[in-house]
Amino acid sequence: MSKQFFVALLLFALGPVSLSFGFTPKSPLVESFQKGLATKAKKADPGFTGFSADRGKAFYSLKHGDHKKKPETRSCETCHTSDPMNSSKHIITGKKIKPLSPLVYRKRFTKVKKIKKWFRRNCKWTLKRSCTAQEQGDFIEYIYSL
């Protein structure tokens, strides 16, 4: 086997692995925000054992019906795209939205007031109800797993 071929093979084999190992470090603010959510989630469900990035990912792309009884058309992706690393456009106003990932946009998840405000608004629009503490915690876990 030539050396070049071996190196190419090695890169090919390692590529997908190294891509799936990304994660974003959490700030103390995010840690404590999630801790508060965990307390609430445990209260709502004594079987709760912790937040899950996988569940958060599924939640992020899960489609819900809209207010006019149209079938499943709304999800977090509607405004934030399927990749939280992307900037996007608001589906109604067309205004630019910066990426949700703090890895790309450092101001994300730096103000509790802002996090709460947008969970309130976006969950209402997307799900026609508030997001539960577990859904919020899972969603944050997903964003920080990227």
* 62: contact with ligand HEC by CB under 6 A: no
Tell me 21's DSSP state.
T
> Of 106, 118, 120, 128, which lies in the binding site for ligand HEC, with binding defined by CB under 6 A?
118
Estimate the crossing angle of helix 28-44 against helix 112-127, to 10 degrees: 50
Residue 119 touching ligand HEC (CB under 6 A) = yes
- Minimum CB separation of residue 144 from ligand HEC in Å reads 12
The Cα–Cα gap between 23 and 43 comes to 28
Please give the Cα distance from 130 to 113 (Å, whole number).
Answer: 16
**Vertex 60, ends 58 and 61: CA angle to 5°?**
70
Query: Which of 30, 37, 41, 139 contacts ligand HEC by CB under 6 A?
Result: 139
Interatomic CA distance for residues 107 and 102, integer angstroms: 7
Q: Which of 34, 51, 84, 126 binds ligand HEC (CB under 6 A)?
A: 126
Backbone angles phi and psi of 142, in degrees to 5: -65, -50
Q: Which is nearer to ligand HEC, 23 or 136 (CB)?
A: 136
Q: Indicate the residue among 85 and 91 with the shorter CB distance to ligand HEC.
A: 91
- Binding of residue 114 to ligand HEC (CB under 6 A): yes
- Binding residues (CB under 6 A) for ligand HEC: these are 76, 78-80, 90-91, 97-98, 108-109, 114-115, 118-119, 122-123, 125-126, 139
